[in-house]
Amino acid sequence: MDLGPPPRRPLGGGDLPDPVWPSIEWPAGPIGPPTEPFRPGPTEEEERAVRRSSRRTLVWSLLGGVLLGTGVTLGVLGVLGLLDGNVVRVPRTTLAAAPTTTAPQDLPEGAVASITQVAETAIPSIVAVTAQIEGLPAGGSGVVYSEEGYLLTNHHVVEDATNLGVIFSDGITYGAEVVGTDPLTDIAVLRTNRPDLTPIRLGSEADLVIGERTVAVGNPLGLLGGPSVTSGILSAKGRSLQVTGDTVLYGLLQTDAPITRGSSGGALLDEEGKLIGITTAIGVSDVGAEGLGFAVPVDLAVGVAEDLIADGRVRHAMLGIQGSTATEQIDGAEIPLGVSVTSMLTGSAYEAGGGRLGDIIVAIDGDEVASIQELIADLRMKRAGDIVAVTALRNDEELTFPVELGEWQE
């Protein structure tokens, strides 16, 4: 079935059906002000009154425990109230100091670490990104990429942002500037001038196995006191998400490690403590987060980052076709076969390389392509000017021919 052209981008793909989740959210976004103003934490006098009242009851331990829990909750809400437009002031003594960190010991190659070891290794490489968007406080997370001061985060964290800064796990804040951003993959690179950086260790999507343990490290909700660590498993690979009306991300990793607003741009790590993705979106419904977190795979993020650092832009590849997933019927089953070429731009790279209307593309450089989503995800790893070997079915004959990829233009 022809799914039609992709929104605004003839990259060799068709439009996507609506996501199965009620909605997809960028986990970062402006953190404040919230829809409902947060209440401040109790004052010292209120806390003393609570303790006096509690001692006069026969169930002091139970009631005291309940009130203590309420106090902690209100204290957290009070901290978040700092981001409210009304600027709730919380005494500094109520805020936990950010933990100091020491340089972690690298884990042996191939070693399976405990979550504690993964956290110890990764936390010094994670930052909170602070900014203002249209005058409102906003923020997300970031990952130290290199000793030269380069940081990875999401495009949507810094888009239209001003007054950028980064807060390290030891509580020290530095200014930051945008080196470059790439809306197509939702990756951005920042730079800071802190000299004693601990770059994250890099993994690879090729080594990942569905069901293996994952650890997410970021700065959800802008909470003070350093990065948060959550764990889960790698739920799936190669996911495609329509995150806004005209923005589709391809080839994403899926995890059930809890992430939320403010986690965008943070790290998704494997069981060795290596970076495998940059967290970017979550699936939510009317009951809240659904354990569906998504990350841009590290191989894609690093390729984009290197281009941004070198040139300030990414020359994304383009076949110059539109198409849809082709299937074949075998014993009553409908099996994905490849990508049927339904139209071509005049003078497209695919046509110039020998491609024809009606071809069914089944592989790029020997890597099988079973769907339109897989084709676009594969193209995201290529660059304009690359010469790829395209394998296609034409009149029941399998052909392989070279195609010099064109450059995608928005």
Span between the terminal Cα atoms of the chain, in Å: 26
Q: Which two tokens stand for residue 10?
A: 């003839």
The catalytically annotated residue of 84, 182, 186, 299 is 186
- The residues near 49 (Cβ < 8 Å, ≥ 6 apart) are none
The catalytically annotated residue of 54, 141, 155, 156 is 156
One-letter amino acid for residue 68 of the chain: L
Q: Could you tell me which residues are beta bridge partners of residue 82?
A: none
d(CA 205, CA 207): 5
- The residues near 64 (Cβ < 8 Å, ≥ 6 apart) are 51, 54
Q: What is the dihedral of CA 79, 82, 83, 86, to 10 degrees?
A: 140
d(CA 265, CA 268): 9
156 is catalytic: yes
Buried b (16+ CB within 10 A) or exposed e, 309-319: beeeebbbbbb
- The residues near 45 (Cβ < 8 Å, ≥ 6 apart) are none
Question: Rounded to 5 degrees, what are φ and ψ at 123?
Answer: -55, -40
- Element holding 50 (H helix, E strand): helix 44-55
Give the three-state DSSP class for 98. Answer: coil
The catalytically annotated residue of 125, 231, 235, 264 is 264
Q: Which two tokens stand for residue 332?
A: 């009553």
Cis peptide before 33 (omega within 30 of 0): yes
125 is catalytic: no
155 is catalytic: no
Active site amino acids: 156, 186, 264
